[in-house]
Structure 1
Amino acid sequence: MHQPPIPHLAVADPELAGLVEAEATRQFSSIRLIASENYVSTAVLEASGSVLTNKYSEGYVGRRYYEGQQVIDPIETLAVDRAKALFGVEHANVQPYSGSPANLAVYLAFAEPGDTVMGLSLPMGGHLTHGWSVSATGTWFRSVRYGVRADTGRIDLDEVRDLALAERPRIIFCGGTAIPRTIDFPGFAAIAREVGAVLVADIAHIAGLIAGGAHPSPVGHAPVISTTTHKTLRGPRGAMLLSDAEHATAIDKAVFPGLQGGPHNHTTAAIAVALREAAAPAFRDYAHAVVANARALAEALVERGFDLVTGGTDNHLILIDLTSRDIGGKPAARALDQAGIELNYNAVPFDQRRPFDPSGIRLGTAAITTRGLGVGHMPVLAGWIDDVVKAAVVGDTATITRVREQVTELTAAFPMPGFA
């Protein structure tokens, strides 16, 4: 059952309570490989579901537009101080509702509509809010996009520099949603300095790895850092903007009153809990285990003939090109989901298929590492992925059913935060 228990919800709305319990059971019985997901601790769940959701708190600590902030101000101060200490930054804003609004606040703080901005192209692993055409950031700003090399799948900083010199962007984003390799923050910083741009490091996917010392930090290179608080950081669905002192005031004004009203205080409290957990020595072990699992899984997938973008991974994320397997990413992902292996279909660099029916699948190891799976389990997972993808090509439902049973048996042996 869901942990903490939900007896009051079960009485007030049994239909919804049943769905919550069903989701808890589904998460427990599945191998969750979606790179942007994780399991939060029970403490984070309790903070998220507390009476703090009742309180409205427009403004910042000591400068609110509502009375009754005697408790809320210390909670937000805790979250801010813990973020600053964990990442070693001069300033932290913990109020953004999620990653996309956090990035929108960056534009509001440092650019004017029509200014040139620069980010990694979405099909190459970037994010919608880094200037892609269907996003407001690609509508309100003049967006130029860098890509990756066709032969390696990696970002070529010489090409990035040439593009930046030619286009002179006001903002440069580094980071994205499907980058399996280490981000060269010093290299991007040198380019940004040369063209007079504000470098923004979007570390939403790798924030927990940075906090745990398993990925280099952008601090000291990027004056502005955007991140979500879930994914590898193992917090609630929220976001933060981190910066040096010079850029702090502009960021705060952009978040409030520029884009948002009152912060979600229950989320702020849950962020504070997650940051405290991430500062513990055990979290460093966790972050390094996430990377070790990803590398082991990548190696096992390569051994089974899968084509990995960039040939492997340096972090938690693996991007597989299924072109040689005669199946698209969407049918492969759906077959894997039926087998209890949850991931997402994803475009790969230079994809010839449509965005809603791309050639790849994306997976990550943050959630399974939280459950306690280790390097020794990764060849087994790779074998199941291989079996199901092959089965999906020929319509072999028996194999998918067999893998589903094996997945259920494996996950039953590993506790899940939020389920008892």
Structure 2
Amino acid sequence: MNAILGKLRTALLKTAKLQDQLESTTINLIAADNATPFKYLHKLPYKRYAITEGLLGKRPYAGVKYFDQIEQIAVDAAKYIFKADHANVQPHSGSQANQSAYLGLLANGDRVLAMSFSAGGHLTHGLKINFSGRFFDFSFYGVDADSGLIDYKEIEKKAIEIHPKMIVCGASSYPRNIDYEKLSLIARKVGAYLMADISHPVGLIATRVNPSPFPFVDVATLTLDKTLRGPHGGIVLCKQELREKIDKGVHPGTQSSIPLQRIVQIALCLIDAGSKEYELYTKQVIKNIKIFEKNFNQFSKSLVISGGTDTHMIIIDTYNVFGLTGKEAEFLLEEVGILTNRQVVPKETLKPYVGSGVRLGTAWSTSRGYLEQDFEILSNVILDTLKNPTDKKALSLNKKLVSTLVKKKRKNDTWA
């Protein structure tokens, strides 16, 4: 082998092992992450790498008879779980699912009303640095400055004012349930499509732990690797009358080929989402996050954005309570073995890359078998670490507590 490539190969193998070690020795509280069950990675009924392109039943390839059947199984499972008329399971990611929905239903320059980034919206919900903000005319709604909750009257007022072609709900860092029915009435009032990005709470919606957007929305987009704990990929769900537009938005609109192995993983993930085991998992996700809610609110009523959570995530204001930026808090918690991510908050005064808060989630840890008693310990570790950022003795003790939790053998660990 070429000497340079040989060194790169050695470095790759070494670094991959270090990443594996990192994931095995830390507790991941990043709300967008999950511990994908090994059966989706190592025990698939199909292990090869066939690809094809085109819509189901309309492929320009030979040898796709069983590919079509497998994709139809995934589609049927998605429709059943979410009570949707139609599902397209081909998007490579949540961002591409959103892009497909926009492309299928909107024209360049159409007006869209979505949640602002500081209130919890996603990059693909209209930021100028993203494709969505470049090709469509986005306006934004936020949350009530005091409660941190969606202000539906503000949405209605803005919708009447700008008459958007689409209203987008759902978010990347809004921890509360969304009133889809109320938004549906607003959308109908101004003749707009209503689209829900349910990428974060989708697993909780699958088991009705959180309310479903259907039948109130026209289209819903989702990812599979967050609370659904499936493979990386996206799905677009829609009403029957929008099927052709959505499908064309996916192909040929935004992508070409699709790998069969991922479609198999998606089908397995969705079938599992209808199991009793998975329902218990989603209920435990909520039980665990409620421990954070209780303990953080007891520490300070100013700490928890919106005062609590209905989903798998909670947002805390580290800057105004501890004097730590979100970036500083993220680095500090990683030092003791807890992975989180910095987050902007509704009354943000810092740059987005820095943020005033931290977002915490329980999807990954619950998949690894963590229970309420573990989150009692984690609550104390997080608060003590943020209170004592320069106390090396306290940080060392908290790191040991995290290490003890990590080493514990647990029932229902998806990585066991």
**Alignment TM-score > 0.5, same fold:** yes
Q: Does the 8 A contact of 2:115 with 2:140 survive in 1?
A: yes
* CA drift at 1:13: 5.2
Which of the residues 19, 31, 38 maps onto 1:35?
31
Which of the residues 328, 345, 350 maps onto 2:347?
350
1:54-88 per-residue CA deviation (whole Å, 9 max, x = no partner) reads x2211122211121213322221121111111111
Q: Which residue of 1 aligns with 2:333?
A: 336
**TM score, norm. by length of structure 2:** 0.94
Which of the residues 179, 183, 189 maps onto 2:178?
183
Where do 5+ consecutive residues of structure 1 fail to align? 1-11
**TM score, norm. by length of structure 1:** 0.93
Matched, 1:326 2:323: yes
Where do 5+ consecutive residues of structure 2 fail to align? 1-7
SS class of match (2:388): helix
Identity of aligned residues (%): 36
> In structure 1, what residue type is equivalent to 2:327?
K
CA distance in 1, matches of 2:275, 2:47: 27
Which of the residues 162, 185, 206 maps onto 1:167?
162
1:216-238 per-residue CA deviation (whole Å, 9 max, x = no partner) reads 00010001010001110110110
1:42-62 per-residue CA deviation (whole Å, 9 max, x = no partner) reads 111126896443x22111222
For residues 135-146 of structure 1, the aligned pairs below 5 Å read: 135-146=130-141
Q: Does the 8 A contact of 1:51 with 1:266 survive in 2?
A: yes
Which of the residues 347, 356, 359 maps onto 2:356?
359
* CA drift at 1:358: 1.1
Q: Which residue of 1 aligns with 2:387?
A: 390
1:187-236 per-residue CA deviation (whole Å, 9 max, x = no partner) reads 11111111110100110000000011210000100010100011101101
* CA drift at 1:418: 7.0
Q: Does the 8 A contact of 1:28 with 1:412 survive in 2?
A: no
> In structure 1, what residue type is equivalent to 2:408?
A
Q: Does the 8 A contact of 1:91 with 1:243 survive in 2?
A: yes
CA distance in 2, matches of 1:304, 1:314: 19
Q: Which residue of 2 aligns with 1:101?
A: 96
1:289-342 per-residue CA deviation (whole Å, 9 max, x = no partner) reads 111211121111122236111111111110001112111110111010111111
Q: Which residue of 2 aligns with 1:8?
A: none
Q: Does the 8 A contact of 1:47 with 1:267 survive in 2?
A: no
Q: Which residue of 2 aligns with 1:277?
A: 272
Q: Which residue of 2 aligns with 1:244?
A: 239
- CA gap of 1:334–1:411, structure 2 versus 1, over 3 A, is same
Q: Does the 8 A contact of 1:61 with 1:76 survive in 2?
A: yes
* CA drift at 1:347: 0.2
- CA gap of 1:418–1:286, structure 2 versus 1, over 3 A, is closer
For residues 232-311 of structure 1, the aligned pairs below 5 Å read: 232-305=227-300, 307-311=303-307
- CA gap of 1:414–1:60, structure 2 versus 1, over 3 A, is farther
Q: Which residue of 2 aligns with 1:368?
A: 365
CA distance in 2, matches of 1:189, 1:183: 11
* CA drift at 1:131: 1.1
Q: Which residue of 2 aligns with 1:317?
A: 313
CA distance in 2, matches of 1:168, 1:239: 29
- CA gap of 1:308–1:399, structure 2 versus 1, over 3 A, is same
CA distance in 2, matches of 1:120, 1:158: 14
Q: Does the 8 A contact of 1:37 with 1:366 survive in 2?
A: yes
SS class of match (1:133): coil
Q: Which residue of 1 aligns with 2:219?
A: 224
* CA drift at 1:264: 2.6
> In structure 1, what residue type is equivalent to 2:141?
Y
SS class of match (1:299): helix
CA distance in 1, matches of 2:10, 2:209: 43
Query: How large is the Cα RMSD of the aligned pairs?
Result: 1.8
Matched, 1:16 2:25: no
For residues 40-119 of structure 1, the aligned pairs below 5 Å read: 40-46=36-42, 51-53=47-49, 55-119=50-114
